[in-house]
């Protein structure tokens, strides 16, 4: 299994809603990532989890709250979002970061979020 | 922070060879990736270079010069399906991978 699975594929929410994006991988990877990608722009790093601990937060607003319940799962909790947060949210995973591996990122298909 | 530059658009002919350049300025450099992204899809891994030199993988090759902060992706025998965005990405330390703006390649018959 070389897949990273993201749900839902599409999400429409109002600015007062609370929703969550989910990501799952079964490749035994110990690093998981959230990226945000707006149209015609490159993916922008949001968060990195390493061994289920948050290791990087790229100054992301607190209305985005990541969670890593176990080594296979990564969630992104959304609350009080703004219309400008509408984007494609990509989850990725990679092997043990503490080894000198290539660090290849395996991406999911993404969750396309629209905030009304 | 990182500064990654690559051309925004390129056009090439089916069957030809195209070279996509990437320059970067960063501290803590620990490797450079090339990813392919078709419109509306997730990026997919093409190559990884951490040492100077050329890495070849089928029709795709990637080159790195760390002293010059320079890489290129070479695509041979272009096919229509190669029309996509090609993202240069720099790894800093073990955990942070930052993407360039991407080069949109259009392959024409």
Closest chain B residue to the Cα of A47, Cα to Cα: B96
pLDDT per position as a tens digit, A26-75 = 998 999 999 999 988 899 999 999 999 999 999 999 999 999 999 899 99
Taking contacts as CB-CB distances below 8 angstroms, the residues of chain B near A110 are 42
Give all strands (DSSP E) within A17-110, no chain letters.
18-25, 31-37, 44-50, 53-57, 64-70, 73-79, 87-94, 106-107
Taking contacts as CB-CB distances below 8 angstroms, the residues of chain B near A44 are 99
User: Residue A100 pLDDT more than 60?
Assistant: no
Among A41, A45, A108, select the one facing B97 at the smallest CB separation. A45
Residue A103 is predicted with a pLDDT of: 74
pLDDT per position as a tens digit, B17-50 = 999 999 999 888 989 999 999 988 889 999 999 9
């Amino acid at each position: 299994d070389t897949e990273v699975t993201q749900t839902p594929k599409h999400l429409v929410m109002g600015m007062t809603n609370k929703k969550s994006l989910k990501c799952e991988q079964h490749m035994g990877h110990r690093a998981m990532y959230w990226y945000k990608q707006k149209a015609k722009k490159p993916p922008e790093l949001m968060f990195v989890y390493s061994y289920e601990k948050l290791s990087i937060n790229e100054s992301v607003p607190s209305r985005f709250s990541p969670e890593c319940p176990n080594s296979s799962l990564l969630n992104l909790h959304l609350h009080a979002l703004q219309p400008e947060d509408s984007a494609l949210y990509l989850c990725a995973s990679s092997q043990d970061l503490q080894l000198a591996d290539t660090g290849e990122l395996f991406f999911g298909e993404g969750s396309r979020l629209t905030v009304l | 922070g990182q500064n990654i530059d690559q051309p925004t658009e390129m056009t090439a002919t089916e069957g030809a060879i195209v070279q996509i350049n990437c320059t970067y300025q960063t501290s803590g450099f620990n490797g450079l990736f090339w990813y392919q992204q078709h419109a509306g899809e997730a990026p997919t891994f093409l190559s990884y270079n951490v040492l100077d030199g050329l890495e070849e993988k089928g029709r795709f090759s990637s080159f790195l010069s760390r002293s010059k902060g320079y890489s290129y992706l070479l695509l041979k025998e272009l096919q229509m399906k190669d029309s996509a965005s090609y993202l240069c990405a720099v790894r800093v330390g073990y955990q942070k991978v930052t993407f360039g703006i991407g080069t949109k390649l259009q392959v024409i018959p």
